[in-house]
A and B are shown apart, each in its own frame.
Chain A
Amino acid sequence: MPDEPVFAEPWQAQAFAMTVALHERGVFTWAEWAQALSREVKAPGAAADGGDYYDCWLRALETLLAERKLAPTADVDDLAAAWERAAHATPHGEPIRLENDPQGGHF
């Protein structure tokens, strides 16, 4: 089987690294993390080839952070929508910044 790059897309690397950093800060134990990830990768509908592994990873991270009231789902939804709008409003080739969200008001 051929080797693939460590991360297929940059967001996977970010999600991975945030998890490692949060664990190092003691936000959750690694056993708690493994359990959360296990729930997601064993959920019905998970891809048989493991191709959605980092989607599972991100869902597990969101769940743990929502449970700990550190990042409530509604806040993540709102900010994700803001990032999407900012991305559309940003000219190609420029870094996307949350300030570019035309609806603004996040800070």
Chain B
Amino acid sequence: MAARVRALETILVQKGLIDPAAIDVIVDIYETKVGPRNGAKVVAKAWTEPDYAGWLKKDATAAIASLGFTGRQGEHMQAVFNSDDTHNLVVCTLCSCYPWTVLGLPPVWYKAPPYRSRAVIDPRGVLEEFGLTLPPQKKVRVWDSTAELRYLVVPQRPAGTDNWDAERLAELVTRDSMIGTGLAKEPVAA
């Protein structure tokens, strides 16, 4: 595999289609700079600022871009908000479309066939495997990502965090809670 990648790179550089320095920059961005911390900032801001939450609901692409997180693939973002009666879960049945700008690159299980096929057919079963059992009256909505539209789940703000600021709240927002396979962490009792 490594030799084939080098071969492709050699050809593309010779043809002037890629610049090796630009490739290194992209690798660095995805290895070290983008990740679920970006998404956690978006969620915590929505929890603390109702105006921002409203904007995020109406135009997630712009609301997220306002924090400096812009997509490289021209994709649109939609934020789906968990509530007392609905839990949201994101999958890409096609391949592995994922909101890179806010979550980084997807975990292995997100890309694996079992999750991609079962999240739609049996979302509750999948959630239970993640240790998340929802009350039967709670609806589960599954969102299937595409190359053009990616979803970010906004988990519910945990109880007991009334006086917390956004920075502290962001610590409670896990990657899985923004895919929908988990909830935000509960505050640890002081």
Partner-B contacts on A (CB < 8 A): 1, 3-4, 6-7, 9-11, 13-18, 20-25, 27, 29-31, 33-35, 37-38, 41-42, 46-51, 53-55, 58, 61-62, 65, 70-71, 75-84, 87, 98, 106
Contacts of A10 in B (CB 8 A): 2
Q: How many A-B residue pairs have CB under 8 A?
A: 148
CB pair B146–A80 under 8 Å, yes or no, is no
Interface size on B, as a range, is 35 or more
CB pair B6–A83 under 8 Å, yes or no, is yes
CB pair B148–A18 under 8 Å, yes or no, is no
A-B contact pairs, 21 of them (CB 8 A): A7-B27, A10-B2, A11-B1, A14-B9, A15-B8, A17-B23, A21-B18, A22-B12, A23-B72, A25-B18, A27-B17, A30-B73, A30-B147, A34-B94, A46-B113, A47-B112, A53-B108, A58-B1, A70-B11, A71-B8, A83-B3
Partner-A contacts on B (CB < 8 A): 1-12, 15, 17-19, 22-24, 26-27, 30-31, 72-75, 94-97, 104-105, 107-109, 111-114, 146-148
Residue from the list A18, A49, A61, A87 in contact with B3, Cβ < 8 A:
A87
Q: Answer whether A1 and B109 are a contact pair too, CB < 8 Å, given A17-B27, A30-B74, A70-B12.
A: yes
CB pair A70–B15 under 8 Å, yes or no, is yes
Residue from the list A7, A34, A79 in contact with B147, Cβ < 8 A:
A34
Contacts of B114 in A (CB 8 A): 48
CB pair A41–B113 under 8 Å, yes or no, is yes
Contacts of B22 in A (CB 8 A): 21
Most buried by A among B8, B17, B111: B8
Q: State the 9 A-B residue pairs at the shortest beta-carbon distance, nearest first.
A: A50-B112, A79-B7, A34-B147, A17-B26, A80-B7, A30-B73, A11-B2, A38-B95, A83-B3
Residue in B closest to A60 when the chains form the complex, CB atoms:
B95
Residue from the list B2, B10, B147 in contact with A98, Cβ < 8 A:
B10
Distance, CA A15 to CA B147, complexed state (A): 18
Contacts of A16 in B (CB 8 A): 26-27, 30, 105
Contacts of B146 in A (CB 8 A): 31, 34
Distance, CA A67 to CA B101, complexed state (A): 29
